[in-house]
Amino acid sequence: MPKKQIRTDYAITHLIAREEHRQRETLDLIPSENWASLAVRMPLASVLGHKYSEGYPGARYYPGNAVIDDVERL
C-alpha cells in the first residue's frame, strides 16, 4: 500500500478505536465477529477490499478478477 498522509475525521477515528478496544477486551462468541489479526486486516484495507468478485476462481460472474482468483488460490 502506498505510504501517504491520510486525514481522518476525529469522530470516526475515536469510534474505530472504541470498537477495536471492545473487540480486544471482550469474548465474542459470534464466529463471524472473531478478532482478525493485523496480517488479515491489512490486505482487506488494500485495493483487494474494494473488489467485487462473486463466484469461484476461474468461474466469476464478472470479468477482471484474475488477480483475485490468484489471491484466493493461495
In this predicted structure, what is the pLDDT of residue 74? 92
**pLDDT tens-place string over residues 4-41:** 556 678 888 899 999 989 988 988 888 888 778 889 88
Contacts of 44 (CB under 8 A, 6+ apart): 36
pLDDT (tens digit, 9 = 90+) per residue, 47-60? Answer: 988 888 999 999 99
pLDDT at 54: 93
pLDDT of the residue at 5: 55
Q: How far is CA 69 from CA 1, 5, 35, 39, 58, in A?
A: 20, 31, 25, 20, 7
**How far is residue 46's CA from residue 7's CA, in Å, rounded to a whole number?**
17
Measured distance CA(54)–CA(38) in Å, rounded: 25
